[in-house]
């Protein structure tokens, strides 16, 4: 095989691999983009849970101290 033929073969093989690599890069990027999105949503959920726990602690404290009677409204059936 001549040197020129070898060079052409190398160029062709690189061209064939390039789209696969780009596809793989795109998939990896999309995966991390999705991961970041999910992670962001998870942070929001954790913050909401934390806020609700703090709210619950405040209500429990009011109930223990006896100050909650004015805040509690009867449930109408």
Whole-structure pTM value = 0.48
The reply to whether 19 falls in a domain is yes
The pLDDT assigned to 56 comes to: 92
The contacts of residue 63 (CB under 8 Å, 6+ apart) are none
Domain hosting 49: range is 3-65
The reply to whether 75 falls in a domain is no
pLDDT at 19 over 60: no
CA–CA gap between residue 3 and residue 35 (Å, rounded): 47
53 pLDDT tier (thresholds 50, 70, 90) = very high
The pLDDT assigned to 26 comes to: 81
Domain count, the chain: 1
The pLDDT assigned to 45 comes to: 94
32 pLDDT tier (thresholds 50, 70, 90) = confident
The reply to whether 52 falls in a domain is yes
């Amino acid at each position: 095989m001549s040197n020129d033929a070898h060079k052409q073969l190398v160029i062709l093989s690189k061209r064939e691999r390039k789209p696969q690599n780009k596809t793989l890069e795109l998939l990896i990027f999309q995966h991390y983009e999705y991961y970041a999105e999910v992670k962001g949503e998870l942070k929001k959920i954790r913050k909401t849970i934390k806020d609700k726990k703090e709210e619950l602690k405040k209500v429990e404290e009011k109930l223990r101290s006896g100050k909650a009677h004015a805040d509690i409204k009867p449930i109408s059936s």
